[in-house]
Chain A
């Protein structure tokens, strides 16, 4: 009996190793190791012609900058321009999150309160445009906001009627915001819907019987109960916006640079790898703190609802 158990234990361990080993190995090599390399790179000296200076001074070389250095981080903190770009990225991410929330909430609420047989279709209709190519979704707004588009003409006609000069919509902070919201909206709808769908409608009926107005029923029941969904949706929008470079790159003007564009330039433009890596580490820290905050808020929201 004991012998059989031992054999089974051994088999178990072998099975566990066979199933979890290959993906673990692959991800250690191609995810964990690259992340560590990035941390290491952020502490190195940039090479003379881009790339990196060697870690160890080559034999016979003139004394130069080899080994490790916190220079990239010092550079980041010594120049207020970079802090401003980080701050601006946080602002854009916060604004995108808020606009997505305002647009997604009524839709998610409607889907959650629709008849069961329509719900899946309504959710699919939200996800479907999101499945089309990311660049195409941004490009579509290049057409709509372009100077010769009907939309641009209409906006300028309205502005003209109020005596305001014509505006260019494309390559502006406005275009960046529109693109950001458009690309990330489904990330907000889905967690909100998943949350709202679980609400017990008898709570609302009880509130109605007790004389609560429509607004009171929403503000005192639906909204607090939906907070976990709000926070996970907010994290799902905020985090990718923070690292986005394609939307400002395509829809924004020269001044609309965010963290992502700054990082991209260090690798494909000016080729300062250590500084690019340091910026990536700063972005990672920002993402981790946002994710941590969202989890904490969501937990405390659940906690306070339970106390009530």
Chain B
């Protein structure tokens, strides 16, 4: 091995350690039989038990699940349309509206939606306002994934379908949709993860009353840290990990599909 590679490897090892040690500590302490996050005092599952007996936490988890499912459904439908439209037509306004929320600091979207909901819609903040806010920022992510999938595809497939007499709707349902489906599902999973994890935008668009998971975690961290936070964190990490694995499998198969199709085509 070359000398420069050894140097690179050690620098990279430090960065990987920096990335993983903090999360590993959270997971380890979630099994620690001590109220303090200081030293190891033996194995316990009591923090998980406490978590499952915490009514407010369970309600928060249920609320967050409802929000994430609704927002990812809305964002997937609208984001797929946006991705298709941006890929197929020369549009000026839509790309700006779709991609800007992805690029700008979240706090700006949170603040402007807060003002909009309270002033214009006169909406009582709650689940509905959070779902709308999450849909708004997830659309861009779905559109990016769907568009990337379309860019890798051979346009002649769609022309062939049209030449063979398929209507637009048939072309979409029988050709386009099956081809972009992996990207659509990956986009849906990504929206779900983004929504269930989102703190900043939720913080500004939440109402009083219904507990929401990230807000609940924030309160626990700010007010009184108990190892229950470690337990809920570990469970959330597990959930995200599963989502990521499914999404990357789909995107991977999407990519290899595209390649094999190009090779045979």
Identify the A interface with B (CB < 8 A).
11, 15-16, 19-20, 22-24, 26-28, 30-35, 37-38, 41, 51-52, 103-104, 106-107, 109-111, 113, 120, 124-129, 131-144, 146, 148-150, 182, 185, 214, 239-240, 242-246, 249-250, 260, 263-264, 267-268, 273, 276-277, 280, 283-284, 287, 291
Chain B residues 204 to 220 lying within 8 A of chain A, measured CB to CB, are 204, 214, 217-218
What residues of B have a CB within 8 angstroms of the CB of A28 in the complex?
Answer: 97
* Cα distance A244–B104 in the bound complex, in angstroms: 11
B90 to A: closest C-beta gap in Å? 10
A149 touches B38 (CB 8 A): yes
A141 to B: closest C-beta gap in Å? 6
What residues of B have a CB within 8 angstroms of the CB of A143 in the complex?
Answer: 22, 25-26, 29, 37
- 5 A-B pairs with the lowest CB-CB distances in the bound complex, closest first: A243-B105, A140-B22, A20-B85, A106-B11, A34-B116
Show 5 residue pairs from A and B whose CB-CB distance is below 8 angstroms, ordered by the A residue: A34-B112, A131-B241, A133-B214, A139-B233, A246-B200
B107 touches A245 (CB 8 A): yes
What residues of B have a CB within 8 angstroms of the CB of A131 in the complex?
Answer: 193, 240-241, 243-244
B112 touches A23 (CB 8 A): no
* Cα distance A129–B197 in the bound complex, in angstroms: 13
Of the candidates A103, A137, A249, A260, the one whose C-beta lies within 8 Å of that of B15 is A103
B115 at the interface (CB under 8 A from A): yes
B85 touches A19 (CB 8 A): yes
* Cα distance A133–B241 in the bound complex, in angstroms: 11
A23 touches B78 (CB 8 A): yes
Known: A133-B214, A243-B107, A267-B204. A182 touches B22 (CB 8 A): yes
* Cα distance A129–B82 in the bound complex, in angstroms: 29
Identify the B interface with A (CB < 8 A).
3-5, 7-9, 11-12, 14-16, 18-23, 25-26, 29, 36-39, 77-79, 81-82, 84-85, 88-89, 91, 93-94, 97-98, 100-101, 103-109, 111-116, 118-120, 132-133, 135-136, 139, 143, 168, 193, 197-200, 203-204, 214, 217-218, 221-222, 225, 229, 233, 236-237, 240-241, 243-244, 248, 252
A41 touches B19 (CB 8 A): no
Known: A37-B119, A263-B111. A132 touches B101 (CB 8 A): no
Known: A124-B248, A132-B237, A182-B22. A139 touches B105 (CB 8 A): no
Query: Which of A34, A243, A276 lies at the interface centre, i.e. has the most chain B CB atoms within 10 A of its CB?
Result: A34
B105 touches A26 (CB 8 A): no
B18 touches A140 (CB 8 A): no
Chain A, Cβ-Cβ closest to B22: A140
Of the candidates B16, B26, B116, B197, the one whose C-beta lies within 8 Å of that of A134 is B197
* Cα distance A32–B225 in the bound complex, in angstroms: 39
* Cα distance A30–B168 in the bound complex, in angstroms: 30
Q: Give 12 A-B pairs besides A104-B15, A133-B233, A144-B25 with Cβ atoms closer than 8 angstroms.
A: A22-B77, A31-B100, A34-B116, A35-B112, A128-B244, A134-B214, A138-B221, A143-B29, A185-B15, A185-B18, A242-B105, A283-B107
What residues of A have a CB within 8 angstroms of the CB of B21 in the complex?
Answer: 144
What residues of B have a CB within 8 angstroms of the CB of A136 in the complex?
Answer: 23, 26, 217, 233, 236-237
A128 touches B217 (CB 8 A): no
Chain A, Cβ-Cβ closest to B216: A135
B120 touches A33 (CB 8 A): yes
Of the candidates A20, A126, A149, A182, the one whose C-beta lies within 8 Å of that of B81 is A20
B135 touches A26 (CB 8 A): yes
What residues of A have a CB within 8 angstroms of the CB of B193 in the complex?
Answer: 131
A132 touches B139 (CB 8 A): no
What residues of A have a CB within 8 angstroms of the CB of B37 in the complex?
Answer: 143, 146, 148-149
Chain B, Cβ-Cβ closest to A122: B12
What residues of B have a CB within 8 angstroms of the CB of A31 in the complex?
Answer: 97, 100-101, 109, 136
Chain B, Cβ-Cβ closest to A104: B15
* Cα distance A280–B200 in the bound complex, in angstroms: 14
B101 touches A110 (CB 8 A): no
A260 touches B107 (CB 8 A): yes
B23 touches A276 (CB 8 A): no
What residues of B have a CB within 8 angstroms of the CB of A107 in the complex?
Answer: 11-12, 15-16
A15 to B: closest C-beta gap in Å? 5
B111 touches A15 (CB 8 A): no
Of the candidates A132, A146, A182, the one whose C-beta lies within 8 Å of that of B18 is A182
What residues of A have a CB within 8 angstroms of the CB of B241 in the complex?
Answer: 128, 131-132
Query: Which of B81, B107, B199, B244 lies at the interface centre, i.e. has the most chain A CB atoms within 10 A of its CB?
Result: B107
What residues of B have a CB within 8 angstroms of the CB of A33 in the complex?
Answer: 116, 120
A246 touches B199 (CB 8 A): yes
Of the candidates A19, A132, A185, the one whose C-beta lies within 8 Å of that of B84 is A19
